[in-house]
Amino acid sequence: MMTSASRIAPNRFVIHPFDQKYGTDTGGYLSPEDLVKGRENDVLNHGYSAIAPSVFREACRRWRETLPAVSGRLEAYSFVDIGAGKGRPLLLASESPFRKIVGVELSEELSRIAQRNVALWSRVTHSRAKIRVVRQDAVKFRWPRTPLLVYLYNPFACSLVAQLAENLAAVAASGSGLVDLLYVNPTCADTLTRQGLFARLWTARIPMDEADQKADPYGTSSDLVSNYRLK
């Protein structure tokens, strides 16, 4: 397993500049096997690594450009990270005026780390954003009844992505309104296309800045990101 991890994520022990700056613990790499603890849907997870801040910020910028000029107020949206891991996207999301910021994470260990990171971030940055970490299976999560930006960093198998999409469509039909997805490394894009519930707005390969490239666990320089909107 160590050999496999070295091949997949050769820079997994590099401390990211983001963590150096804020004292947080959001980096590294955990294999799918590292996260299997005997819970329902455990074996369907895709492991853990965190988004490069430069990619996240650019993806959010591009998403904001798709919002309707009249009704697309960012302050109305709740940001929900599915498979939140150690919580880096939650911290980055707090740089924008989302109504709520929620991370949903199945792993007890990772959710505890995320909660510590949120508390530390709030102290260091004096952020007043409402950030909450929920330890729960994503398919059982009760969604906020607001417009949603749902963030996915290739968290789990396509069968769960399909179930998640169906749940989101049902929530929207019950009155929550708009639902958008930001999907990083969208390996289940074909699943979403076949379902026909979400329309793809754009797909882009977003380059990392130099600092992110040097600290990327996989030694890559960009991420593929897709933006979807519920039809």
Average pLDDT, the chain: 89
| Among 78, 143, 139, 88, CA closest to 110 | 88
The pLDDT score that the predictor gives to residue 175 is 77
Domain membership of residue 170 as a residue range? 2-230
Give the E-state strand segments of 130-188 in sequence order: 131-135, 148-153, 179-184
Residue 86 sits in a domain whose CATH number is: 3.40.50.150
Higher pLDDT, 102 or 11: 102
Asked if 10 contacts 107 with a C-beta cutoff of 8 angstroms, the reply is: no
The pLDDT score that the predictor gives to residue 91 is 98
> What is the mean pLDDT of the segment spanning 131-155?
94
Q: Provide the domain count of the chain.
A: 1
pTM: 0.90
pLDDT band at 1 (very low <50, low <70, confident <90, very high): very low
pLDDT band at 45 (very low <50, low <70, confident <90, very high): low
The 10s digit of each residue's pLDDT in 171-209 is 999 876 899 999 999 999 999 999 999 999 999 999 999
> Measured in Å, how far apart are the chain's first and last C-alpha atoms?
42
Angstrom distance (rounded) from CA 74 to CA 161: 25
Angstrom distance (rounded) from CA 159 to CA 95: 32
The pLDDT score that the predictor gives to residue 10 is 77
Angstrom distance (rounded) from CA 79 to CA 2: 35
Angstrom distance (rounded) from CA 70 to CA 22: 36
